[in-house]
Amino acid sequence: MTIKPLIILPDPILRQTSKPVETVDDRVKRLADDMLETMYDAPGIGLAAIQVGEPLRLLVIDVSKEEEDRAPQVFMNPQILAASDTRSVYEEGCLSIPDYYAE
């Protein structure tokens, strides 16, 4: 696996529209593995392909606690199909906007 350089705001690459993943081939699998390695190295809990310069609808997350075993998840062509009316507040950051956090 390879740690990829993160694209940082205001780089215009981050404003590109990502394309759907058409085929889950070796290239896409390798990209997902590289994204996980990059995310863990940062460290972060989520990373979209566009954040490493790949305009694909692909993202990786791992929200496990530090003391737990890693539980990576890979999402291709994600869609929000439903939402809850319940609201929660958490601190959130973005690897492409370093040192900025908000609730």
DSSP state of 49: G
The full set of domain ranges for the chain reads: 12-102
Question: Any idea which of 15-19, 23-27, 58-62, 64-68 has the lowest mean pLDDT?
Answer: 64-68
* Rounded Cα gap, residues 68 and 51, in angstroms: 26
The stretch 56-78 carries a mean pLDDT of 93
The confidence score (pLDDT) of residue 67 equals: 66
Dihedral-angle region of residue 6 (phi above 0 means left; psi in -120 to 50 means alpha; beta otherwise): beta
In CATH, the number for domain 12-102 is 3.90.45.10
* Rounded Cα gap, residues 45 and 64, in angstroms: 8
